[in-house]
Structure 1
């Protein structure tokens, strides 16, 4: 079995192993670490779960999503989606919705505005992605914290060292004002995204340039 077929099979098994995804008919192709997924799912939240599951598979360097969400929308549903999205943000304890605006078009929800922390940006997207009828979410929220904490390179490096996923990986950190650039080599897409997730926990951070290279051992 060649490497592409092996990776394809691993991804298929990973999707099959998730009980809430077994009913989804998803086509999988793989070429040089790039996995392309195709098919149709009932809810956008399932599409997100599929993407996250595939990213965890060893050997996956990138994911191309050609998965559609079933369209059962009527003209009046656009207003309902907007109302439910606003309510979802208002009920979420981690989010300050006064700086977030919602645009709904053709079943897609667009989030624009700003938040103080990256976890709030993620929480906003997750909250609206659960709404029945959503076909997709475009998260354009900016991170614009008013905190003036100095970003410390050593603190970020220590945080990477504490991670079991990143153990043994050398990740270089360059700090410029409120921005961080990550360079180095990791084994998987999961490790690359984990490094970025950890870095976002730094106070006062506005932007990350994740230039980590994925090299499969």
Structure 2
């Protein structure tokens, strides 16, 4: 298993390697394999990219993000301008019905509300807003309405997990009730956890996923 010092070095190298991230904007602290990311990224998109970079590093058990977006003066915009731009972007986004998602902006922080049929629509709406200039954060409160989950939805998710991460599929429990999928068990990395969550969200009729998965580092040989 990696020491905290080794993890710190690996995380710092991964931040340096990530083109969307200015690694000089962040400070990395590690204790008991839990990584704390501090700093002042220049955009919300950069903050998310840094968080994902940390989660790609093997051996990281959990990530604490205490970074606050500090926009450069050229990117500071009024809330009304951000709201108008966000509404325009959502209107032109493929797969979203006009008016399905409502936008609220306060001090650059965007809150999305509404109802969509499938999770990928919810994800796409948030992703488009995340990469807007002037946005300091995004809260995604869009609900997935969906239809009734088929009786074999648990089996469908299991097959998807086998396609995406065969080793982890054997250690993941799946429970489905009224369109809510609960995942339990252990995985070896944050990437594997995301694959499991993605497989669950992709199943028809799923409108919520409860993630009880635990990331357990694989001991070094």
**Partner Cα distance (2:104, 2:57) in 1:** 34
Alpha-carbon deviation of 1:59? 1.1
Structure 2: segments with no counterpart, 5+ residues: none
CA deviations on 1:85-115 (whole Å, 9 max, x unpaired) are 0011011102224221110001100001221
SS in 2 for 1:28: strand
Partner of 1:187: 188
Matched, 1:124 2:131: no
Partner of 1:12: 12
What's the RMSD between the two structures over aligned residues? Answer: 2.3
SS in 1 for 2:68: strand
- Equivalent residues in 2 for 1:1-217, closer than 5 Å: 3-22=3-22, 24-71=24-71, 72=73, 77-147=78-148, 149-164=150-165, 166=167, 169-217=170-218
CA change 1:179–1:136 in 2 (3 A) is same
* TM-score of the aligned structures, taking structure 2 as reference length: 0.89
CA deviations on 1:131-184 (whole Å, 9 max, x unpaired) are 111111111111111355445221111111111475564211111121111111
Bigger CA drift: 64-73 or 44-53?
64-73
CA deviations on 1:18-41 (whole Å, 9 max, x unpaired) are 233245421001112221111112
CA change 1:97–1:61 in 2 (3 A) is farther
**Partner Cα distance (1:79, 1:73) in 2:** 17
**8 Å contact from structure 1 (residues 125, 137) kept in 2:** yes
**Partner Cα distance (1:148, 1:184) in 2:** 23
* TM-score of the aligned structures, taking structure 1 as reference length: 0.91
CA change 1:166–1:105 in 2 (3 A) is farther
Task: Count residues in correspondence.
Answer: 217
Structure 1: segments with no counterpart, 5+ residues: none
CA deviations on 1:27-81 (whole Å, 9 max, x unpaired) are 0011122211111122211111111111111011221112122244999711100
**8 Å contact from structure 1 (residues 24, 40) kept in 2:** no
